Chains A and B, each alone.
Chain A
Amino acid sequence: MADPKGQKVPTIVRFYRFRNRLKEKTHGLGGGTGQVSAEALAEAEKALAQMAEDYPDWVSGLLVKLSEKHGRCVDTPEHRREFFEEINEIAHDMKGQGGTFGYPLITEFADSLHNFTTIKNDITDSMVELVKAHIDAMRAVIRGRVKGDGGEVGAQLKETLNQAIEKYKGKK
């Protein structure tokens, strides 16, 4: 690019304008605006609703796993670190989707569990107890099908968990 005096001007901005290949791929060369098949959308919605229905069962399955890891932390303190790592992974998986299926409290509690199991120092008995408090709180959410913020029940569950956190905080 040269300016009127014939000197080279450095590029300030470069625009890339490409042919719309995705449109060609999905819509042929026919032109016009396309649409997603309404039938397919409805079918996908149905599949999503089905998954949402399965969600509490899926969480229950993970809670069983968490309980088992917790039990092992109690029974074999020398292996706590590896069990905590597994608990940490499960918690991470759980926190990712509660909201999508109408259970933000699961996300919140799993997030808390995930945070405090991400640790580098020694794992105390109190921490193991606290894992249990989280499992209990999430179990209550699923058993009671406590959706959304859960209103009073939700507030109560949060309060109970917070009390447990306060109680065990700083304890050995």
Chain B
Amino acid sequence: MAEYDFERLSVLIVEDSLFIRSLLINSLRILGVGKVYAVDHGGQAIDFLKKVKNDPMSAGTQEVDIVMSNWQMSPVDGMMLLRWIRRHKESPDRFVPFILITAYSEPKRVTEARDLGATEVLAKPFTITAIGEKLVSIIEKQRQFVHTRDYFGPDRRRRIVPIEFEDRRKLNDKSPGVEIVRG
């Protein structure tokens, strides 16, 4: 198997703990990520992303390929940032893969993150292997984005599981009301 070359990748880290932040920056650099940007909290991330959109020269990059963000931060936490990225009209890329880093690992929290459109959840305390796995998953298993009345984000159905009961999914690609955007 060929090894990835992360040299052209640009990652934004959003983490308020100085120690964890330098740990993440350091790890990504060692893994070969070409551009690593780091900010303190969600508010700064939003400012940075707006800058990428409006003034890429001064931001130093034309795009952010992956956002890795802590959940619990103030004043703007990871979930508020995720909501902004997915829904705000000023967001430079509503489809950007988003890794939510959190010490909350209860199923309820993970579901909450998923329903807001997080691509991956990285549990704290994390290992380097776990970071590597999340990167591989984002690259290899890109999921379609789904936009319904109450959800916008990567397809929450990740696995193909046989259905034992009546299949309640009534729509397919050809059904009226289903629109497919390719790009």
Contact = CB atoms under 8 A, between A and B. Distances in A.
Interface of A: 1-3, 9-20, 22-23, 25-28, 30, 32-37, 40-41, 43-45, 47-48, 51, 55, 58, 92-93, 96-97, 99-102, 107
Contact of A100 (B126, B138, B144, B177): B126
Interface residues of B, number: 59
Interface of B: 1-6, 8-9, 15-20, 22-23, 26-27, 30-32, 65-66, 70, 72, 74, 95, 97, 103, 124-129, 131-132, 135-136, 138-140, 142, 144-149, 171, 173, 176-183
Closest 3 CB pairs of A and B: A96-B17, A12-B177, A100-B125
Contact of A30 (B2, B74, B148): B2
Given A2-B176, A12-B148, A23-B142, A35 B3 contact: yes
A34 B4 contact: yes
Contacts of A16: 95, 144-147, 181-183
B142 A22 contact: yes
Contacts of B72: 96
Given A43-B30, A99-B124, A9 B176 contact: yes
26 contacts: A9-B177, A11-B178, A12-B177, A13-B146, A13-B178, A13-B179, A15-B144, A15-B145, A16-B147, A16-B182, A23-B139, A23-B142, A26-B5, A26-B139, A27-B2, A28-B2, A37-B3, A41-B31, A43-B30, A44-B131, A45-B129, A55-B19, A96-B19, A99-B125, A100-B126, A107-B103
Given A32-B1, A35-B1, 10 more contacts: A11-B179, A13-B179, A23-B139, A23-B140, A34-B4, A35-B2, A37-B31, A40-B31, A43-B30, A45-B129
Contacts of B129: 41, 45
A121 to B, nearest CB: 20
B21 to A, nearest CB: 9
A15 B136 contact: no
A93 B15 CA distance: 10
Contacts of A23: 139-140, 142
A108 to B, nearest CB: 12
Given A14-B179, A15-B179, A92 B142 contact: no
A58 B183 CA distance: 48
Contact of B32 (A40, A58, A102): A40
Given A33-B1, A96-B17, A1 B181 contact: no
